[in-house]
Structures are given as structure tokens and as C-alpha cells.
Amino acid sequence: MLDVLSNIMDAFGAAVVVPVVLIIIALFLKVPAKKAVQSGINAGIGLTGFNLLIGAYVPIVTPVIQRMVETTNINLPILDTGWQATSVVAYSTQVGMIFLALGLGLQILLFLTRWTNIFMPADLWNNYSFMLWGSMLYIATGNMMLAILLMVLQNLYTLVLAEIVAKRWATYYGYPNCTITAPHHVGSVPIAIFMDWILNKVGANKIKLNPEQLQNKIGFLGEPTMLGLILGALLGFVGNMSRLGSLEGWGEIATVAIATSAVMAIFPKIAGIFASAFTSITDASRKTAKTGGKERVWYLAINDAAGYGESATLITGILLIPIMVFIAIILPGNEVLPMVDLIAIPYMIEIIIAVSGGNIFKSLISGSIWCTGGLLMITQVSGIFTDVARDIGVALPVGAMMICSLAVMTNWLFGALFLIFMTQNPIFIGITIVIYFVLYLFVRKYKESIHEYLEKQALGDEYGNLQTS
């Protein structure tokens, strides 16, 4: 059964699985068959469009990033080999395969019993994040039940944190009643909210810096396509400092500039198609809630690619690339060499961007802190992940003593839970479970107030931008 489920995921992928799930949900909510099928098709078109766009962009930018890292002469033993390689490792372990089925059943049960209002199975692929940490714990301790308990608890934490930011993410990125549940990104919820509160307290919210404000201040140079062109050219320039005397170097600078501008221009159009897939389901769920007595507002988990190319997200993510390379060089105790996942930073900061209302200045600060903490966390745990990779036969890159994924393993929450479970101390593990239930009850009681607070904080920045302009 596990092999069949894994083979289905491998064979069809998210662009097929998600539309099928969407059509089933739509029909269950009594959406007319024609609209249900069209919604599924639009979701498939959107996901395919995201994947094609990002898939074409990454190979253009990656050589520039690699050259930028290499020219800094960083000598660090832990090589970032990327989230793709990490997901392959997670899906290749015995523990991972067990949770693939267990997690699916758990997530459906939690939704049907109204323990959560987020339908997480729609983004089943990203369960590999749980599978990674569970596999690491099993390799380190040999305790299968403890590894399964860790993955279940991480799943529960992910859902309650996703509940906190679901409305904010849906509102900011423009996908009605949708949110992301990618565990490696949702783990940033506490730091995103805390840092936004701190930054507002010290007046950082007075610095109005988002794509709309840039366009108002500097005219056509602030338009998304021009910002992409300028930002891409700067990234290309930094990555070709050693090749400025060659035609190839300047050709690559121009290519990266045009490619980044293209993402800025094309992404909103794909996002519009993808967003239209959820309109009929949103309308139907509202009607069902009204006729069913007690209203239930629920959110569908969607792939984090849906936010990658949003202007503030991509701009902040690209700016963070050289910042994180510099931090990796000077950070005491760091042994991680950021490489492949630097281009994945826009994925990593979606929660931070949404909470800040698209404020690039605040997001740069919060994103830097989130990723910096991730470097230190990865330094602590990458040895065990490397053992897991070796166990399934992964050959380490030449010159690398250990490997990691910046995007997946930059997760303070999961890292902390993993280290606590590593002690195998029932008291410490029991405390993490108690903390979850306290958090769950708090969110369940005050969720509407939490949503109102996050909307007020984010809208404060947006209104400020409008008034300033």
C-alpha cells in the first residue's frame, strides 16, 4: 500500500493530484460538475505554470549563485545540496514511507473531526519535511515509535501554526480560503509575528518599502518588470565579478536580468488562473456553512510555489541571497555553506512577507534572523541527516564532509523538537506535548482575535503606504 501511494505521487505529481482532490471536494460541496472540473483544470494549469516558470528560472540563476559563493572562498564542511535532494532522501526511508500513509490518514481525520479547519492532504507532497526529521531520529536512536511520535507532534504543531496565519496568507497572496502548510516554512510563524511586533515597536513600520511604494516614488523604474530587471542585473553582476572582462560574463548578467523581469511579469497572470480555481469552492463552502447551522470557515492547503513570484517575496528573497552568503562567512559557530537552496529563499519567507504586509525592509530583517538561526540549527543536526543519506546510498559531493538543505532544515521549531526527542527523556518530551495542547486551546479560543490582530498590523503598513503616496 505504501509503495502504491508513493508511486502515485511520483507518477502524477502535484499538478495532477491537487486538481483531482479539488474536483472531489467541489463535488462534495455540491458544485455543478462543469464548474468543479473547470476548477480542477485551472488548478492544474496554475501549478504547471508555476513549476514551468520557476523550473526555467532556477537553472538560469543557480550558476550565478554558485559562482558568487565560490569566489568568496568560503571553506565550510556542510554543503547545502538543496530541498529536491532532501525530499528524495525522505521518500526513500522506511520511516518516511510509514508516515506517508499515517500522515494522510491523520490529516483527514483531524479535518473531518474539526480538530483543524485546514485540509492539509491537498499538499501531501510537503509531508517529506516530517519524514526527514523522523528518519533522522530513527537513525540516531533506533526507536521507531519515538520517530513516529515526533512526526505526529510536528504535524500537529504545523496545523495549529497554519491556523494562526491562514487568513493573513490567503489575503496577502490573493488565494481565497487557501493557505500553505509546508512544515519547513510554517515553522517561521512564531518568529515572523514576534519580529514584526518588535520592528513595529522600534519604528521600522515607518519605513514604507513595498513594490507599490517603490513604483509611486521612482515611477516606471519601480514597476515590477523594471524592478526585476534591475535586481536580476545586480545579482548577475555580483555573481560575475571575476568575469567582467568577458563577453560571457556580461551575457549572463543580461540573461539573469531578463529572466527575473520575466518572472515578475508572468507570475501574476499564472496566479490569477490558479486563484480562479478556488472561487467556486469558496462560494459553495459559504453556502454550505450558512445552511448547515454553525458556520465553518476552512482553508485548503496549496503548494508554496503559489507565492514564490509575488513581487515583494521575490525581491526580498533575491536581496537575501548575498546577505546570507555574507552571514554564513562571518557567523561564529556556523559550518554551513549555503548553495543550492539560496534560490529557494522566496519560498522560505512567504509567512514573513505576509505577516509584514509586504514590507520589504521589515522582511529583510526578519528573514535574515530566521535564516541565520537556521544556519546554526543545521550545524547541529546535519551530521545525522548525512548518516540518513548515506544509509540509502546517496554519494556525497566531492569536497563535502556533510550535506543539508537550507530550505528544509532552517526550522527552529522542528530542530528544537528533534533535539528534545533525541534525549529520549519522557519528561522533556511530555513538556513539548503539553505546550502543544496549551497552544492549541489558546488558538482555538482566540483565533478570530489573532486573525484580526494580524490583519490590523499588516493593513496598518498598507494604509500607511497609501497615505504617504
Q: What is the pLDDT of residues 185-226, one digit of tens each?
A: 999 999 999 999 999 999 888 887 776 666 666 555 556 678
pLDDT in tens, 405-462: 899 999 999 999 999 999 999 999 999 999 999 999 999 999 999 999 999 888 765 4
Contact predicate 440/156, CB 8 Å: yes
Q: Which residues of 237-255 are buried (b: 16+ CB within 10 A; e: fewer)?
A: bbbbeebeeeeebeebbee
Give me the DSSP letters along 364-391. Answer: HHHHHHHHHHHHHHHHHHHHHHHHHHHH
pLDDT of 448: 93
The pLDDT of residue 469 is: 32
pLDDT in tens, 219-245: 555 566 787 788 888 888 888 888 888
Q: What angle do CA 398, 399, 404 make, to 5 degrees?
A: 90
Strands annotated E in 250-351: 299-301, 336-337
Q: What is the pLDDT of residues 100-119, one digit of tens each?
A: 888 888 999 999 999 999 99
Q: Please, are residues 136 and 418 in contact by the beta-carbon 8 Å criterion? A: yes
**Per-residue pLDDT, 177:** 87
Spatial contact of 344 and 406, defined as CB atoms under 8 Å apart: yes
pLDDT exceeds 70 at position 295: no
Q: What is the DSSP letter of 121?
A: G
Least confident of 40-44, 83-87, 429-433, 435-439: 83-87
Strands 336-337 and 78-80: parallel
Q: Across residues 348-366, what is the average pLDDT?
A: 94
Task: Return the percent helix, strand and coil in the chain, to nearest 5.
Answer: 80, 5, 20
Alpha helices in 72-143 (DSSP H): 83-90, 94-112, 128-141
N-to-C CA span, the chain: 58
Count of other CB atoms within 10 angstroms of residue 273: 17
pLDDT confidence tier of residue 468, bands split at 50, 70 and 90: very low
Distance CA 271, CA 175 (A): 8
Contacts of 17 (CB under 8 A, 6+ apart): 8, 9, 124, 125
